[in-house]
Amino acid sequence: MRIDIVTIFPDFFGVLDISLLGKARERGIIELGVHDLRDFTYDRHRTVDDTPYGGGAGMVMRPEPWGEALDATLTPETVVIVPTPAGVPFTQAAARELALEKHLVFTCGRYEGIDQRVIDYAASRARVREISLGDYVLNGGEVATMAMIEAIGRLVPGVIGNPESLTEESHEQGLLEYPSYTKPSTWRERSVPDVLLSGNHKAIADWRHEQQLERTRRVRPDLLPDDQ
Ligand SMILES: NC(=S)c1ccno1
């Protein structure tokens, strides 16, 4: 997979050189390109924004630099991801789908957002997904892009050493994950549930599933299937 990010804060993504994604890049599983939107401007001040038509507070990102940034990154296989509070909620299912794509371009808006014609133009050349991390407003798309790259990148085939470890995580089966424990068996007078020490694999699996249901009922009843 190749990922391109267009942003006015390219240094923000330096952290993607380390950890799991850093290793995936070293192994050639994921390629990453970070592009400074100001490199697609030609005025002395490298201007990327201007006042909104129709008035109103704040500034809007100009279409011209974005058009050139898209020209430099789009391919017929690209999925353009626009982080925006006005987007479709991001889910584990979306992360799984996007992890199978060949090329993602993240467009990090700032100010009051990107001129709408940029999104419309992008949609004439590639698939575009406007995605929200949640019902709250950030100062720009960079934090959301980082979170999505983490969620998507770890699902790209070959990135996680043991794919089985992905199957029992929260939201993978539509339920929240069960509680986990490790040594010591007793810590500050709190002991690990006896079933986990029993060696009875069926009893452990049943207990874990029940814990998933109980935690999901308590914390996220909206995720429960109707028959649970
Ligand atoms: N909620 C999201 S993804 C967002 C992007 C920019 N501001 O909020």
* Atom of ligand 1 lying closest to residue 87 CA: 3
Buried b (16+ CB within 10 A) or exposed e, 179-207: eeeeeeeeeeeeebeeebeeeeeeebeeb
Across residues 73-82, what is the average pLDDT? 98
> Quick one: 172 exposed, middle or buried, by C-beta within 10 A (0-12, 13-18, 19+)?
middle
If pLDDT is split at 50, 70 and 90, which confidence band does 18 have?
Answer: confident
Quick count: other Cβ atoms within 10 Å of Cβ 151?
Answer: 19
Q: What is the pLDDT of residues 197-212, one digit of tens each?
A: 999 999 999 999 999 9
* Atom of ligand 1 lying closest to residue 138 CA: 7
* Atom of ligand 1 lying closest to residue 132 CA: 3
Averaged pLDDT score across all residues of the chain? 95
Q: What is the pLDDT of residues 164-189, one digit of tens each?
A: 777 667 777 889 999 999 999 999 99
pTM beyond 0.80, yes or no: yes
Roughly what angle, to the nearest 10 degrees, separates helices 116-125 and 63-73? 20
- The answer on whether 133 is annotated among ligand-binding residues is yes
| Cβ pair 98, 104 in contact under 8 A | yes
Which of 114, 132, 142 to probe ligand 1 with, by most ligand atoms within 8 A of CB? 132
Q: Is the CB of 139 under 6 A from ligand 1?
A: no
Q: Which of 211, 183, 213 is nearest to 197 (CA)?
A: 183
Predicted local distance difference test score (pLDDT) of residue 141: 98
C-alpha of residue 139 to centroid of ligand 1, in Å: 8
Closest Cα to atom 2 of ligand 1: 85
Predicted local distance difference test score (pLDDT) of residue 167: 67
How many Å apart are CA 170 and CA 75, to the nearest integer?
A: 33
**How much is the ipTM here?**
0.91
- The answer on whether 53 is annotated among ligand-binding residues is no
Closest Cα to atom 1 of ligand 1: 85
pLDDT at 140 over 90: yes
Q: What is the pLDDT of residues 92-138, one digit of tens each?
A: 999 999 999 999 999 999 989 999 999 999 999 999 999 999 999 99
Q: Is the CB of 86 under 6 A from ligand 1?
A: no
Percent with pLDDT over 90 in the chain: 86
